Amino acid sequence: FLTTGAPVGMKIQGRMTAVTQTSLPQGVVASMAKKLLKPEQWEDFCKVQEFNLALSIPEQRNLIFSPLLVGIW
């Protein structure tokens, strides 16, 4: 889980666990999300404030946008 203002996290046995001690600064996660999306997808994401994205790996990621943070789950 990558969320602005929070340490990188992952679920271990169903519990959220921080895997870094340093919080992600503003702009880092948004920059990563923007690189994953095509320009028209990024525009939709900014308008709707949520975007479901299936990557080439066998898992699905969710992008969440709010005025204060962008997260990738």
Following DSSP, what letter does each residue of 14-50 receive, concatenated? TEEEEEEEEEBPTTHHHHHHHHHS-HHHHHHHHHHSE
pLDDT digits (tens, 9 = 90+) for 4-32: 999 999 888 889 899 899 999 999 989 98
pLDDT at 67 exceeding the cut of 80: no
Give the count of beta carbons closer than 10 Å to the beta carbon of residue 64. 16
So what's the pLDDT on residue 22? 94
The residue among 39, 63, 42 whose CA lies nearest residue 51 is: 63
Residues 65, 5: Cα–Cα separation, whole Å? 13
**Model-level pTM?**
0.64
pLDDT > 90 in the chain, percent? 36
Residue of 55 and 19 predicted with greater confidence = 19
So what's the pLDDT on residue 24? 92
